[in-house]
Structure 1
Amino acid sequence: MESAAVVTPPYAAGPLRLAPFRAIRLAPARVGDPASARALARPYRDVAKRLRQWEERGQLVRDAEPALYLHEYTASGITVRALVGTVDVSRRATGTTPRAILPHEGIYPAQADDLADRMEQMQVNPAPILLVQHSPAPLRALLAQVRADAPADHQFTDRVDHAHRIWAITDDQVLCRVDELLGPTSAVIADGHHRYAAYLRLQQRAPGGPADRGLAMVVDQDDTPLFLGAIHRVLVGTSVRDVASAAASLGISAWPAAPDDAVAALGPGHLVATDGESWLVVRVEPAGDQVEVEVLHDALVPALGHGPTRISYHHSVTDTLEHVTPRHGTAVLLPAPTVDQVQGVVEAGRLFPEKATSFQPKPAFGAFIRSWRDEPPAPS
């Protein structure tokens, strides 16, 4: 896919509303199991039948009544709590209406179309998109009270050793209060940009029904913060000398360093370029609310004398360094942005370059599935 094909998805208009739904949940031994994805595999038109068969075999459960869910999961020592429900995508934001959901990356239209086609055939949202925000303190207190008032309705450890606790919220007063507190807020997409774009396409194809909403979970970064990591780059066809020359042409300071000193310098305002033998520290000094990865793609990469012929993406320094040699390309190690920086960029109307953020931990597949067939038709 060419980067030129990336487009900005439309914005869903506020208020931000999560509605109850009847959750489908795989049996604990199947949550997080990659083999469980076969329940949602081709032919997609047979997915509903397959889910019924799994239900008959006790391999999944379907809740009897709609609920909003408080989902707590713990992975690799990090605990995350999120509200899970169906988010309203039926209206588009304009210049005068607030935006409820804020994408921070562009999407490939063909990929979003493909996901929309699959969901339309399945009549299923297979997993929630992951949203993050600084929730209002009263909402945080309300959800703490939900946890204190009753034990979790579901508690289990899944196939990949993630611990889960789930509270089903059905009390009308609590639901109304959640709606009141969440409505004026917005949330940034942490994971699921193409699924979000698919939601918008599905809603446009069939307005007034289940497609008016998509499955989502909202994490309060002030309660149980997601870890936000960097995604490093390998610039294939580019040398460390090319990076040094590009920096000099832009008036950006750069200097060679020993490997340990270069890695120690990696942080706010500093990038590291290396081919595994030569190491270069680049002081980018982003202006205003820019972040380092923006400077790399908006300034340094266009100024390169050679390449890159291709860019690959890696989540750890170790993995990145395994993909470079002086003859192959140059790694660019990046500092991780903060959630506040991500929010600042999207509120300013910009998007991050492709694969610029890594929010973790993501929920395991199978904890929440939504079937359109479980929802009553819209009133005529």
Structure 2
Amino acid sequence: MASIYPFRAWRYNPSAVRLQDVVTQPYDKISPAMQEAYYQRSPYNLVRIILGLPELFDAEHGENVYTRACRDFKAWREQSILVQEKDPSIFAYAQRFRVPGTDEIKERRGFIALGKLHEYADQVVFRHEQTLSKPKSDRLNLLKATHAHFGQIFMLYSDPAGSVEKILYENAGPADAEATDEYDVLHRIWRVSDPAAIRLLTSTMADKKLIIADGHHRYETALNYSKEHAPPALARTEHNANDLPQPAYPEAAVMMSFVNMDSDGLVILPTHRVVHSLPSFEPAVFARAAEQFFAVEKLSEAPAASYIDTLRQQAGTVFVAVTRNGALLLRSKPEAAEAVLASLPENQRRLDLSHLHTIILDKLLGLDAEKVREQTNLRYLRDAVEAVDQAQRGEADITFLTNPVTMEQLREVAFAGSVMPQKSTDFFPKLLSGLTIYALE
């Protein structure tokens, strides 16, 4: 099933830079303000490679963000800002954090390694969300320019006994490197280069199936790139001189972080939907139309946190809708919803977001799947406060607060070969980019 490999990672040189100054959130989670802050933090911050800023005279000089990424990556290696591990290794990776909105402290444990790229039809790697074409084009341009992977695909595997974590963490000493990010998450990694431990880990993972938690666009980009660069079968080998597994060819694998989906450290946050720029929208008209499919209850004005608490206390499919006129609690009417959702697989009909996208966005607001895919009238926000504020300030027509997808729902949908709407899950915390780098050449 799952094939994983150690690799000779490129890593930031601790004698040249402070790790905390150069690593970043994943590229698609970097806001313009964060991008600017990363630029100011260090001339070697990874943002300059994975999400560089265009410059004034780019066209005249034949430059762009991708050519600069290639130039910087080459220069940083030559200057020993980045140095390569001597031995093929796997990296234990732990993240200690406070669950947003609570005082609960958790630790999510996993490991970084290369993972073999598979077509979804092979039923080794499973997706759970739809993808968009624009992000894949951008990531492909960066991959072609740099021939390297700078962040990890977030993969889930099932291991109720925790056998993988025992191999990695049972005798772990002080961390090899650590950094605290802007969300006050402590990230720590340990290098594992002992061939016996690596062989035990790869054999333990060999029967696992994988679900992409985060990184669908980068995974599909890497898969397409791999197929373009596949050599003849006779030129491929999956073992090196130390009898450690390795990819059949460099592009056949991508850097991944593997996390046990049965562990307590997994946290999925909701991603709220903010609808804006509709040709005509009247809160009262929407409320009346929604009554066909939902029991509609007017809520007293309250902070966003109170609305989230209200959601958590409800059973069944429920949303809070916020407009400039106030907030509504929408409880789905199962019989009315059933007819609209009849064409969806049963496991998707049980998802709150299927009700939201199919009934509310499409049927009530006229945002069909194509408009949702193009994000013409839709924004996705983790921050409930900002989502509510945008509706109350009139910067959006209506905001829908949702409960998170559960791990059980994600597992069921993914292993059935189905997909959820875009931005269905928000795993917290994110994996830092730049902890390890996989260069293809």
After TM superposition, the score normalised by the length of structure 1 is: 0.82
Tell which deviates more after alignment, 260-269 or 219-228.
Answer: 260-269
> Which ranges in structure 2 are unaligned for 5 or more consecutive residues?
25-37, 40-44, 53-63, 99-104, 232-248, 339-345
Q: Indicate how the Cα distance of structure 1 residues 51 and 234 shifts in structure 2: closer, same or farther if over 3 A, else same.
A: closer
**1:212-231 equivalences in 2 (<5 Å):** 212-231=252-271
SS at match of 2:170: helix
Aligned to 2:402: 334
Are 1:38 and 2:48 an aligned pair?
yes
Task: Please list the CA deviations of residues 32-85 of structure 1 after superposition, one character each: whole Å capped at 9, or x if unmatched.
Answer: 353312245556456566345434545333211111221123345542221211
- Per-residue deviation, 1:145: 4.2
Q: Percent identity?
A: 20
Are 1:83 and 2:111 an aligned pair?
yes
Are 1:244 and 2:287 an aligned pair?
yes
Tell which deviates more after alignment, 276-285 or 31-40.
Answer: 31-40
Are 1:254 and 2:296 an aligned pair?
yes
**1:211-360 equivalences in 2 (<5 Å):** 211-236=251-276, 237=278, 238-250=281-293, 252-260=294-302, 263-267=308-312, 268-284=316-332, 288-289=346-347, 290-304=350-364, 310-325=377-392, 328-360=396-428
Do the aligned partners of 1:83 and 1:217 also contact (CA within 8 Å) in 2? yes
- Per-residue deviation, 1:173: 3.3
Tell which deviates more after alignment, 105-114 or 206-215.
Answer: 105-114
Aligned to 2:85: 63
Aligned to 1:125: 149
- Per-residue deviation, 1:355: 1.8
Residue 290 of structure 2 aligns with an amino acid whose one-letter code is: A
Coordinate RMSD, CA, aligned: 2.8
Q: Indicate how the Cα distance of structure 1 residues 305 and 341 shifts in structure 2: closer, same or farther if over 3 A, else same.
A: closer
Aligned to 1:205: 228
- Per-residue deviation, 1:239: 3.8
Task: Please list the CA deviations of residues 233-257 of structure 1 after superposition, one character each: whole Å capped at 9, or x if unmatched.
Answer: 122234433443333333x322223
Q: Indicate how the Cα distance of structure 1 residues 135 and 342 shifts in structure 2: closer, same or farther if over 3 A, else same.
A: same
Aligned to 1:106: 130
Tell which deviates more after alignment, 64-73 or 141-150.
Answer: 141-150
SS at match of 1:249: coil
Q: Indicate how the Cα distance of structure 1 residues 264 and 277 shifts in structure 2: closer, same or farther if over 3 A, else same.
A: farther
Q: Indicate how the Cα distance of structure 1 residues 23 and 247 shifts in structure 2: closer, same or farther if over 3 A, else same.
A: same
Distance 1:191 1:213 in 2: 17
Aligned to 2:196: 173
SS at match of 1:266: helix
Distance 2:392 2:366 in 1: 16
Do the aligned partners of 1:266 and 1:335 also contact (CA within 8 Å) in 2? yes
> Which ranges in structure 1 are unaligned for 5 or more consecutive residues?
1-14, 374-380
Residue 298 of structure 2 aligns with an amino acid whose one-letter code is: P
- Per-residue deviation, 1:199: 0.8
Aligned residues: 352
Distance 2:422 2:283 in 1: 22
- Per-residue deviation, 1:310: 1.0
After TM superposition, the score normalised by the length of structure 2 is: 0.71
Distance 2:164 2:425 in 1: 30
- Per-residue deviation, 1:87: 0.9
Do the aligned partners of 1:78 and 1:361 also contact (CA within 8 Å) in 2? no
Do the aligned partners of 1:135 and 1:182 also contact (CA within 8 Å) in 2? no
SS at match of 2:412: helix
Do the aligned partners of 1:30 and 1:59 also contact (CA within 8 Å) in 2? no
